[in-house]
Structure 1
Amino acid sequence: MEHPTVTTYSAKQNAVPGEQNPDLRREGGAFRRPPGHGFSASRKQLQHRARLEHQVAGSANQRPFGAPLAVSQMHNSRSPDCEEAPKDTDRLCIPKIQNKFSENLKDKAIPRGDIVVTLECLDFKWDLRLPQLFQSETLTKLYLLAQGGAAPSRGLDMVIRPLSPRKSKERRFIKKMTISLKVNDPMVTEAAFATALKNLYLSQMDVDLDDVLEVLAAAHTLQFSRLLKGCVAMMISALTPSNVTDFYLAGCKYKEELLVTACERWLEVNLVPEVGKQIHLRKIPKDLLQKVLMSPRLFTFSEFHLLKTLLLWVYLQLNYRIQAVPEYETMLTFFKSLPKKSCFLDQEDEHGLMPLFRCLRLHGIIKGKDLDALRRIDFFPESWLLQVTAHHYHSAESGGDMIHVRNFATEAVRVGLLFSQEYATYSKIITVYGFFFEMKGIKNDSTSYSFYMQRIRHKDVGVPSSACEHRLVSMRAERMVRYEIRAQVLVDSQWQEFRTSEVLQKFRFAGRSCKSQVLKVQTVGIPIYVSFSFTFPVS
C-alpha cells in the first residue's frame, strides 16, 4: 500500500469548544459551522486557550528526536513527504498506542459530541472521534504525524498528555485537526470507504456480501483489523463457483493467507462437481488450477471426469465470448476442427498448457471409446496415448497387475462418491481389467456414515448389463489391491477429513475378504465427498 499523504494545520486554527454544541452544517460528507457563527468566552478561557496554543505550537516547532524535519514543523504550509513521514511512525508501537488511547478515551476526557479529527479522502470529508479513529492503524499513524511525528521514547506520553482525564475539567477547548489520506487502490470506492468508516462505530460488522470485496479493500487501506477479519470470515463462508476466483485474487492481493487457503481448499473439492459444470470455470487462473490439480485432496468422480473439466477450461479460454457451457461432443468437434501441423499441446502457443495435462492420470481412463475420442481430436501427443494403450494391454495380459504404477500417492486410480442429504445408501460399480468392485456408502443415523469397497461377481444382482458388455471378465479368485478411502465434509466453514491408512489387501469373492476396511464418519455436515484411490500391485 502506498504511504498516505498527511496534511496538518497549525495550532492557531479555530478550536472546538469542549462543552458547547453549536449548529453544524454538512459539507462534502463532513459537518462545518455556518459562517459568522461564533461563541462567547470569558477572559480566563481566552487566556487558557492562548497558553494551550503556545504549548502546542512550541512543541510542534521543535524537531523530536528521530523525526523528519518536515513532520515536526506543523506550521509549515506544505505537507510532509509521504515517502518519509510514515517511516518514523512505524517505529512506534501502534497497537500499544491504540490501546492506550482507547483506555483514556473511555474515561470521557473528550465529550462524545465533539469533533476532533477531519479526514479528507476520495474528495470527501469525514469527521471522526478519536476512540473510533484509533481502531485504524493507518489513521492512527496519520494522527501521530499530525501531532509532530513523535519519537518512540516520548511520543506516547506526548500525544496522550492533552487527553488525560485529570485535566478534563481545566481544558475547555479541543484543537481541531485535518488529516489527508490518498488512496490509489481502484477497488476502494467512496461507498465502500464510507462503509468501512461506519464500522468503526459498530460493535457488530455491517457489510453486504455484494460489497464485501470493495469493503475488504477499504479495510486494508485503513488497516482496520477487526473489519478485515470480519470480511475474510464472510467471504470464506460464502464461497460459490461465481465468486471463488475473485475472492482468491483479492486474498492474494491483500496477503490474506486464510482467505487464499480457503479458496484453494474449496476448489480442491468442488472443481469437478460444481465449477466444472459452469461458465465460471473460465475465470480460474492457470497457476491456481495447476495447484488444485496437484493436491492429494482433489475430488473427482473419475479420471475421465477430471479430463473433461480440464478440456472445458481450455475451450473456454479459446472461446471467451461463449456464455454457455457446451456439450462434450461440441468440444471434441471444436478441437478436431482446429488447423494444426502437430497435436494441440505441441503447438508453440499452447505448449504452456502441458504442465496442466501432466497432472492427469490418463492410465485411469479405462474405456476404449473414451481413449478413441481423444485420438480423433489430436489433442495429446501421440506418444502419451500410445503409452496409455500399452499399459492397458500389459495389465490385461498380466491378470490386472498395474506394473506401470510406481507411486501410489500420485498415480493411483481415483473414484468418487458424492453422498447427499437424501441418500440412505449410495453405490457405484466399476470394472477394471475384468475385476468388478462396488464403492458403497451407508447412512447409519443422522450423523453417522460408513464407506467401503467390496469385490463382486459380474453376475451379481444389481450389476448392470452395460458394465459387462464388451468387457473383460476375470475369473481369478483373488486380486491384490492397494487402496485408501478418504472423506471430506464442510462444517461451519471448516473442512473435516476422515481417511483410512494406505491398505494392501487380498480381495476374494465371499466372506470378510471380499470387503475392504470400513471408513466410519461422524459428522453433522452434508454433502460428504468420498474418494476411493486404488491400484493393482504385482501379485
Structure 2
Amino acid sequence: MFKGGEGSDVTLHALGRKWRLHKLYLSQSPYFKSMFSENWREARENEISIEIVDPNITMAGLETALGSLYHDEVQLQPADVVSVVAAAALFQLDGLLTQCGEVMMSCVNVQTAIVFLEAATAYSLRPVQLRCQRWLETNLMTHVNDQPSVLRQVSPAVLSSLVASPALVVHQTEFSLYVVLKVWLFLRLCADWEGGGSAAVVAAHKFFQQRAAEEPLLDSEEAGALAAPFRALRHQHLVLHPLDFEVLHADNIIPPGWLAGLYRHQWLTLLRLDQGLVEPGWSRDVTEAQFDACALRCGRTLKDRQKVTWRVTAVCLDEQRSPRHTQSSGLTAVQLARGQEVRVLTLDEAATYPLLLLAKLSSNS
C-alpha cells in the first residue's frame, strides 16, 4: 500500500491487515526505531505482528498514521482524528500529533467537544484539552443541555469537573445548574429515552417526582456512582428559594444529610445580619480564590443590545461558540442602597455579540 525508499522491507500485521512497508521509513517513528535495533528480535525478522489494545485505533487511523511516514502532508478529517491521534500516540509520531491537535482545535463544537476532551486527556494534548474544557464550561447549560443525546455522553468525572469550575458559565441560578444535573441523571438511568431538550426536562421531573422510594437516589446502589457532579454543586445556593427547596425535597435525589448543616448556617447568618453582628469590612478581605469557591453564580445571554444592569464578566463567542474575548470587572466590593446604580464594567471595542453575561455575588456566609 505504501511505497518508496530503499532498505529492507517488512510485513506488518495489525488489526487483521497486512502492510508491506520499509524499515527505513518506519524508523522515523521512535516506536519502530527501537523495535528494529539490534537488541530486539524484530530487527532480524521480515514479518512483525503488533497487538492493538487501544479501542480508539481503527483501520483508517492506522493507515493514516503509517502513511504519514511516507508523505509530508496528511489529510485529516474531524470524524477520524481521534483514531489518528491514538495511532500517532502509539507510534510516538509527535509531528502527526501536533497536526491532529491543530485540526481538533479548529473544530470544537457541541458534537466534538466531549469526544475531543476525552481523547486530549488520554493522549496528553494539553491545548486541545483546555480548549474543550473552556468550550464546555461556556456551553454546558445551553447547547449541551439542549441536546440530550450529547448531555448523556458526559462522564461523571468530566461533569463534576465542569460543575466545580469557577469558570463555568451558569445561566439563571445554581438551581438551574441542579436541573441540568437532574436531566443528566435521568438520561443516564433511562438509556433508552429519546427526545429533545425541553421534553427531557419534563420527563426528568416526572421521573423523579413519581419515584416511589424513601431512600435518596444518590444513596442508592443504582445511582451512587453518579453522585460526584451533585457533590460539586454549591449547595448553600440551592436552598435560597422556597419553591426550589420544595422541588429538591420532592425529587429525593440529594441526601438530606448533604444539606442539613446549611440550614443552621443560613439561619445563623440571618440572625447575625438582623443583629448587626456582621463585620463591616469583611468583603475587602476575601481573596480571589475564596470568592470563586463560594460565590453565588448566575448569568444570562443577551441576544442584542438590551438594557440590563449586571455586575458581570462578559464573554464574547465566535461562530463555533468558543470564547473569543473575555472581559471582567474584577473583584469589587460595593455597598448599594435601594435603587442605586453602580457601573462596574464598560465593554471595550473588541466586544461583539453574541455576548454571555455572568454575575457572581458573595456574602460572609
Aligned to 1:290: 160
Q: Which has the higher strand share?
A: 1
- How many aligned positions are there? 345
User: 2:144 aligns to what?
Assistant: 275
Q: Which residue of 2 aligns with 1:117?
A: 9
Q: Which residue of 2 aligns with 1:517?
A: 344
- Measured in 2, the distance between the counterparts of 1:243 and 1:290 equals 19
What amino acid maps onto 1:207 in structure 2? L
Aligned match of 2:51: 183
Match of residue 182, structure 2, among 303, 311, 325: 311
Residue among 327, 331, 338 paired with 1:502 = 331
Distance in 2 of aligned mates of 1:237 and 1:292:
21
Match of 1:239 in 2: 108
3-state DSSP class of the match of 1:507?
coil
Distance 1:533 1:219, change over 3 A: same
**CA-CA distance at 1:181 after TM superposition:** 4.7
SS in 1 for 2:333: strand
1:490 Cα shift? Answer: 5.6
For residues 388 and 427 of structure 1, the distance between their equivalents in structure 2, rounded to whole angstroms, comes to: 36
Q: Which has the larger radius of gyration?
A: 1
Once the two structures are superposed, what CA deviation does each residue of 1:427-482 show, in whole Å capped at 9, x if it has no partner? 55xxxxxxxxx32xxxxxxxxxxxxx4xxxxxxxxxxxxxxxxxxxxxxxxxxxxx
Q: How far apart, in 1, do the equivalents of 2:50 and 2:41 lie?
A: 19
Question: C-alpha distance in 1, partners of 2:226/2:182?
Answer: 11
Output one character per residue of 1:126-157: Cα deviation in whole Å (capped at 9) or x when no partner: 33483x4343222322343489999xxxxxxx
- How far apart are residue 349 of structure 1 and its match? 4.3
Q: Distance in 2 between matches of 1:528 and 1:346?
A: 40
Q: Which has the higher contact order (CA 8 A, sep 6+)?
A: 2
Partner in structure 2 of residue 532 of structure 1: 359
User: Which of 204, 210, 233 matches 1:337?
Assistant: 210
Residue 254 of structure 1 corresponds to which residue in structure 2?
123
How much has 1:315 moved relative to structure 2?
0.7
| Corresponding residue SS for 1:328 | helix
Q: CA deviation at 1:299?
A: 0.8
Unaligned runs of 5+ in 1: 1-28, 32-111, 151-175, 429-437, 440-452, 454-484
TM-aligned CA distance change 1:282 to 1:258, over 3 Å: same
Shift of 1:489: 4.3
Uncovered stretches (5+) of structure 2, i.e. residues with no partner: none
1:138 alignment partner, one of 13, 31, 34: 31
Q: TM-score, normalised by structure 1?
A: 0.55
Tell me the CA shift for residue 389 of structure 1. 9.5
| CA offset digits 1:168-208 (Å, max 9, x no partner) | xxxxxxxx984625032333223222122222333333111
Deviation at 1:377, TM superposition (A): 2.5
Who is 2:314 aligned against?
487
The alpha carbon displacement at 1:526 in A equals 5.5
Structure number with higher helix proportion: 2
Is this contact kept in 2: 1:115–1:127, CA < 8 A? no
Partner of 1:391: 266
RMSD (Å) for aligned C-alpha atoms: 3.8
CA distance in 2 between counterparts of 1:290 and 1:119 reads 46
Q: How does 1:344-423 map to 2 (within 5 A)?
A: 344-365=217-238, 366-382=240-256, 384=259, 387-388=262-263, 391=266, 395=270, 398=273, 407-420=290-303, 423=304
Q: How much does 1:286 deviate?
A: 1.1
CA distance in 2, matches of 1:148, 1:349: 50
Q: 1:419 to 1:385 in 2, by over 3 A?
A: farther
Please say if residues 402 and 537 of structure 1, whose CA atoms lie closer than 8 Å, have aligned partners that are also in contact.
no
CA distance in 1, matches of 2:107, 2:291: 34
Q: Give the alignment of 1:11-50 within 5 angstroms.
A: 29=1
Do residues 217 (structure 1) and 217 (structure 2) align? no
Alignment of 1:433-472 (within 5 A): 438-439=309-310, 453=311
Normalising by structure 2, report the TM-score.
Answer: 0.78
Structure 1 residue 314, shift from structure 2 partner: 0.9
How far the C-alpha of 1:307 sits from its partner, in A, is 0.9
C-alpha distance 393-335 of structure 1, shift in aligned 2 (>3 A): farther
Are the equivalent residues in 1 in contact too, given 2:117–2:129 (CA < 8 A)? yes
Would you say the 8 A contact 1:499–1:519 is kept in 2?
no
